[in-house]
Amino acid sequence: MHTNLRLKNATLNPASPPVAWAVRQNDYGSDENRSPLATVIQDHGRLDGVQRVLFGSGLQFWLHRLLFLDALSYLSHGQLSLSLERWILVDIDDIFVGERGTRLHEEDVSALLASQAALQRLVTGFRFNLGFSAKYYHHGTPLENRGDDALLKNREHFTWFCHMWNHQQPHLYSNVTQLETEMMLNKQFAIEHGIPTNSCYSVSPHHSGVYPVHEPLYEAWRKVWDVKVTSTEEYPHLRPARLRRGFRHRGVMVLPRQTCGLFTHTLLLERYPGGRQRLDRSIQGGELFQTVINNPINIFMTHMSNYGNDRLALYTFESVVKFLRCWTNVRLASAPPLALADKYFQLRPDELNPLWGNPCDDVRHRRIWSRSKWCGSLPRVLVVGPQKTGSTALHTFLALHPALAPNLPSPSTYEELQFFNNNNYLKGLDWYLNFFPASLSNSSQISFEKSATYFDGELVPRRAHALLPTAKIIIILISPSKRAYSWYQHIRSHGDPVAKNYTFHTIITANDSAPKPLKDLRNRCLNPGKYSHHLERWLAEYSAHQLHVIDGSLLRAEPAAVMNTLQKFLKLTPLIDYNKLLKYDPKKGFFCQVTSGEKTKCLGKSKGRIYPPMEERSAKFLKRYYTPHNTALSKLLVRLGRPVPQWLKDELSNG
């Protein structure tokens, strides 16, 4: 059976409970008189009490894939069931666009309407969705120009969306004003010819500007067309198609777009790659059929030329819908893009926030990314904290190195951008790039960024790795008890009302019945100190050789030695002598930058404060609290081949 898969005359056996378990192969080998052989059978579990469904020939046969989904539902008593609802939207891009000889004639428009009517009987609410570029109206032969007029004459039978006026790629436009001008030409044409302009949907030529995001496109869309929905095949990448996802940016919901095997150049069946047999195979249980089965919401990209010539799009969609209705119980329906977007994100709310990738890591993305942007300015070093471990001092020391360039300061968070772990991330990649000058592309410098809130941010490692997969990550660790106390004193000095109204001991010992502000502050004090937990999350994204762990106590006591080791880890040239750049300041109680002669430049007044000693009861509580976490950290560092800091040894001692 494994080596002879020439399956013909497959039937479902309605007598096998539940319905449709047994698929029979009636033409096995060369023996026409051989009894039918079941290739999918149900084991009722009468011997061991475990019900099973056994697949004897794998899942290559399309019907077996359906039965596999049914088997999951049946054996899990519905817990692993897929909904039977499937939503379909068919976009026809490039209306009015196309070379002479490839465009629609009047009879093609009549066929389009007839096909739409046939599909409406099978797909509730179905309408073709037409995207137009008005510059090319009446750019065909006389027969094709009458085809353009026939589309406009029947405009109320379709839904419509805006394409670009001249079908130009938006990422080639450097500012919003240019894009607005182009879009307004399309809008004026729509108003003059009675084309509806309220769909709140648009598609960009070649997916340009949608992802990777070109901010001027989103801004112009909202101003001119009030776009709330778009679609693309490019997020996060074109392939594999099954991993395409949606996201929301600047108030625009971006839906994943599917392909149906028809493209701009697919005009004639005789020229279809692989011939009609391949197209039919896709329709009859193959790729297109499985696409609809596996995606609750399908937005298909087609082009105007697919509906003239051999009218392959009409054949394709009518055929696959009939095949779906024949072989499955899925309920097919269509709806306007805005309604589909709402449905999609109700099903997948986890996809609302984007995950920004590096456009330079994908050849297709580089082609549709603005030429004014350059990936080389992105940081290759991240100092991720945690807070109150000496990260500001380390930032200052790194900035002294001629091979390193810090990000430009943020008006609200100073040297920290805090991009990967708060709402700044939703502002997009352009916002982040603005803090890293493109002029670095002409020098040997590399950029670095320090945000101490990154270390314990749950989403940060995944976000950082998606954008900066080759970055070096620097982590500073001190006694978690001292870090918690320092954090409390820091926010108290900055007027935090909870910290001012409660003692440190009250905060760290608060239970879950305490007021929410008190619990929140407790978590902010204690959670970053669970070092092993957070390190494991970073190690799930980055390899161990990309992470450098600094002993914060040594950074304070012997910064030059720490910086010399760090230079080697980062492979910086030239190697500089930090002993000449740093000097201990007895008034401040820590090392500062040497400026000229014996003078030093130290961090601000908020750094290096001397706090009252921690209460003994708080110290004992924190020692007990952090012992399991410190033990896990010690084991992790040993496993990674890293030295165990002296402070960690002290905290794990019995003293």
Among the listed residues 3, 10, 4, the one whose alpha carbon sits nearest the alpha carbon of residue 285? 10
The pLDDT value given to residue 184: 97
Distance CA 124, CA 87 (A): 9
Among the listed residues 10, 81, 71, 7, the one whose alpha carbon sits nearest the alpha carbon of residue 42? 71
Question: Dihedral sign, CA of 188, 191, 193, 198?
Answer: positive
The single residue of 135, 187, 388, 530 carrying the catalytic annotation is 388
SS3 per residue for 43-62? ECCCCCCCCEEEECCCCCCH
Q: Residues comprising the binding site?
A: 486, 607-611
Q: Token pair of 107, please? A: 């009879």
| Beta bridge partner(s), residue 13 | none
- As annotated, the residues of the chain forming the CATH 3.40.50.300 domain(s) are 378-652
Apex CA 269: angle with CA 266 and CA 271, to 5°? 65
The pLDDT value given to residue 550: 98
Q: Name the architecture of domain 378-652.
A: 3-Layer(aba) Sandwich (3.40)
- As annotated, the residues of the chain forming the CATH 3.20.20.370 domain(s) are 85-351
The pLDDT value given to residue 26: 45
Q: Which fold has domain 85-351?
A: TIM Barrel (3.20.20)
The pLDDT value given to residue 9: 58
Q: What Cα–Cα distance (Å) separates residue 534 from each residue in 288, 386, 467, 549, 595?
A: 43, 10, 19, 13, 37
Neighbours of 210 (CB within 10 A): 27
pTM recorded for the entire structure: 0.90
Q: Residues comprising the binding site for 3'-phosphoadenylyl sulfate?
A: 486, 607-611
Give 348's contacts (C-beta < 8 A, 6+ positions apart).
245, 246
How buried is 379 (Cβ within 10 angstroms: 0-12 exposed, 13-18 middle, 19+ buried)? buried
| Beta bridge partner(s), residue 55 | 40
Distance CA 118, CA 353 (A): 38
Distance CA 383, CA 452 (A): 7
The pLDDT value given to residue 189: 98
The pLDDT value given to residue 585: 87
* 10-residue stretch averages of pLDDT, the chain, 655 residues long: 49 52 44 60 87 82 89 89 95 96 97 98 98 97 98 98 95 95 97 96 96 97 98 96 96 96 91 94 96 97 95 98 95 98 97 96 94 89 96 95 94 93 94 84 81 97 98 98 96 94 97 95 97 98 98 96 97 94 87 83 72 95 97 98 96 79
Q: Token pair of 76, please? A: 């899990």
List, edge to edge, every strand of the sheet that includes 37-38.
Answer: 11-12, 23-25, 37-38
Output the DSSP codes for 122-176: TSBT---EEEE-GGGTT-S-HHHHHHHHHHHHTGGGSEEEE--TT---GGG--SH
Give 277's contacts (C-beta < 8 A, 6+ positions apart).
none
Annotated active-site residue 388? The verdict is: yes
- Answer for the pair 61, 281: CB distance below 8 angstroms, yes or no: no
b/e 86-105 (16+ beta carbons within 10 angstroms → b) = bbbbbbbbbbbbbeeebbbb
The pLDDT value given to residue 599: 81
The pLDDT value given to residue 27: 41
Q: Token pair of 72, please? A: 């999951």
How buried is 607 (Cβ within 10 angstroms: 0-12 exposed, 13-18 middle, 19+ buried)? middle
